[in-house]
Amino acid sequence: MDIIRTVREMQQRALAEKRKGRRIGFVPTMGCLHAGHLSLTKLARDHSDLVVLSIFVNPIQFLAGEDFTRYPRPVERDEALCLQSGVDVLFYPDGAQMYAPDHSVFVEETLLSGGLCGASRPGHFKGVTTVVAKLFNIVLPDVAVFGQKDAQQLRVIQRMVRDLNIPVEILPGPIVREPDGLAMSSRNQYLTPQGRQDALCLRRALEHVEKRVREGECRVETLRHEIAVILAGVPSACVDYIEFVDNETMMPVSRMERAVLVALAVKIGSTRLIDNIVLPVP
């Protein structure tokens, strides 16, 4: 596995691979890798000849008071996991490589990013789309893989690629869960032992709504209330949002008439977790 730390070297490597006719698969991450990330590298491998994984904790997608400075950065462990999972190139730039001191150009999606996490974290997706566009220009991938756990991010990146005519195929990777159902996340390690148990309320709520829809309940407000009751039963849980949105447009819905994304954001103590499920047409 090669480790590349500069933009220039990464671009030169990508161009050299393309001249050989090789397809580049790309997995952008912020590090602190887990099995969910590694499942994305396998998907990238299935659709490419060379797998590039990037690790960059992007400062411009964090809001004031969020966990940028304490975001976990286990460098040696991440490198070992990349090597074990068959990553060909680890792109590991620092902030000076990615942003000039006077950088002033941003990429912003203005429709799909407005609700859900975009409403509670204003400016977050502007940081995401900007850094992903930059990474696409550096790595020059043919395919890029994004996890379904960050469902809104996935839709926003798909829209950016479509609207800016970026020649990258976006592949969704399914949510990977712990054996007890908790969605894998780098932030899970912030949880106390009790918080780790409390966090299972997100999965319980989603399983409940899935069961209720199978039974024929289509009224969103009824389902939202039932989720709220489940979450309220966990004293450490503080709800950011419980949303039912169209799976494609990210617009709120009042009835289950098309495929719907049920998305949750909940703080367990001080740790903000997200999870979701896509429910098909009843």
Residue 182 · residue 203 · CB < 8 Å:
yes
Label the pairing between strands 260-268 and 271-279. Answer: antiparallel
Q: What is the rounded CA–CA span in Å between residue 170 and residue 187?
A: 24
- Helix, strand and coil content of the chain, in percent to the nearest 5, comes to 40, 20, 35
Label the pairing between strands 143-147 and 89-91. Answer: unpaired
Is 34 noted as a catalytic residue in this protein? no
Choice among 37, 47, 103, 225 that is catalytic:
37
Q: What is the rounded CA–CA span in Å between residue 130 and residue 103?
A: 11
Which residues share a beta bridge with 262? 244, 277
- Sheet with 89-91, strands from edge to edge, namely 2-4, 89-91, 50-55, 24-29, 143-147, 169-173
Catalytic (active-site) positions = 37
